[in-house]
Amino acid sequence: MSRISQIWKVKDLRNRILIVAGLLVVTRILAHVPIPGIGLNDLRSILNSNQLLGLFDIFSGGGLRNFSIVMLGIGPYITASIIIQLLTIIIPKLGELQKEGGEAGRMQINQYMRYLTVPLTCLQAYGTIILLSRTSGANIAANFTPFQWFVTLLSITTGTMILLWLGEIISEFKVGNGISLIIFAGIVARLPAAAQQAYESLSGTGGLSGQNLITALAYLAVAIVVIGGVVLITEAQRNIPVSYAKRVRGNKMFGGVNTHLPLRINQAGVIPIIFAISFLLFPGLIAGFFSHAKTAVIANAATAINNFFQNQLYQGIIYFVLVVAFTYFYTAIVFNPDEISDNIQKQGGFVPGLRPGRQTADFLYKVLNRITLVGALFLGLVAVLPNIVQGFTHTQALTLGGTSLLIVVSVVIEVMKQVQSQMVMRDYEDF
């Protein structure tokens, strides 16, 4: 409480927090602005019964459940970032721009992501509407004219770009990542309704029975364990000792210090889960286009793909594998042992017992692969936790899964660190 009171007394920091809170309220208002001409028949029951679409609704901040103009959330931007990151590996010039372009290069890469977000939003919006229409049998867009499709796609694209713009503004206030906070706000806003739904489902008309009470307590215990595990894995790191040799320049001596290089167990955060969801939704969206094709072979293949990805067991296995794979992929992007080794060598540093250069890089690769395995398996288990819990409880009432807990805890830790760094900086300036 004393820390909160100290934060509240700092006028600049207090104003930043209030402005960010106000912008998050705006995102929640956008999540309730409906798309013109589309109803909500049977939509909520589909999202409750389909685990994958339910996760997609979480990342859209509840916009999909309300069929709002931000029904896709920042999903298209995440997909665009995946594509651009892959292109930086395939296209040498784009990779050089990211690595050697400095701040200007990163800004240019971000601009490419924004440009790519627009067509991806239109494609995903069309595919999602068709998929939901055929899944529910409600024919959401059966009577759409070309003009209605234009208005719908324009509304969704505008909503996504406004959400992306708000996320970038929030990030500039340095009290948390804007995209993460928008997803966080959507999850928190669902908590009251999720708690009420869980209570009504478990209690029924006769109140909480002994078995249902045990189920609820078991779920609460799992949630506490997951929160503790998320905090532990998020904060855990392997410290690599680094020594810097003494150097004499003129009459002054530099270096001669011992420090460490922190390697986090979970370098990727929640990004692999977001990547995996985007990839899992893609086959269903494509199959939705061809499920009613005139050619029987194509229609049967599309139907088989849809049925395969609606199977909870197969879906959970693929989901787990994708999360583990994307954890390694994203960690390789954000942490380059060769580059780190070169930087240590240029600054006159070395890892005790290892030669600078290739030997140090190989050691970093070895350690990074080992600790990333722990983080990847943990993220995979967290991702499929709802499937595991539902397998034991045989109920879909407990909708707040491991992914939601992971995002909430990770965002809270990130916000606390950024606010604390702001406080330390102000204390230092006052000193």
Strands 252-254 and 247-249: antiparallel
Distance CA 28, CA 16 (A): 19
> Which helix (H) or strand (E) is 239 found in, with range?
strand 237-244
* pLDDT at 149 (0 to 100): 82
* pLDDT at 351 (0 to 100): 82
Using DSSP's 3-state secondary structure scheme, residue 246 falls into coil
Residues of the chain predicted below pLDDT 50:
205, 399-400, 431
| Distance set, CA 180 to CA 177, 289, 331, 372, 412 (Å) | 5, 31, 18, 22, 10
Compute how many other C-beta atoms are within 10 angstroms of the C-beta atom of residue 111: 10
pLDDT above 90 as % of the chain: 1
DSSP state, 63? T
* pLDDT at 302 (0 to 100): 74
DSSP state, 35? P
Tens-place pLDDT, residues 243-279:
877 665 656 655 567 788 888 888 877 778 777 877 7
* pLDDT at 318 (0 to 100): 85
Domain assignments of the chain as residue spans, ordered by start: 19-192, 208-431
CATH 1.10.3370.10 fits 208-431, yes or no: yes
φ, ψ of residue 323 in degrees (nearest 5): -60, -45
Residues 158/59, Cβ–Cβ less than 8 Å: no
Q: Do domains 19-192 and 208-431 have the same CATH topology?
A: yes
* pLDDT at 93 (0 to 100): 80
Size (the chain), residues: 431
Q: List the structure tokens of 278.
A: 């985007």
* pLDDT at 329 (0 to 100): 83
Name the CA radius of gyration of the chain, rounded. Answer: 24
Residues 395/389, Cβ–Cβ less than 8 Å: no
Residues 245/348, Cβ–Cβ less than 8 Å: yes
Q: What is the CATH number of domain 19-192?
A: 1.10.3370.10
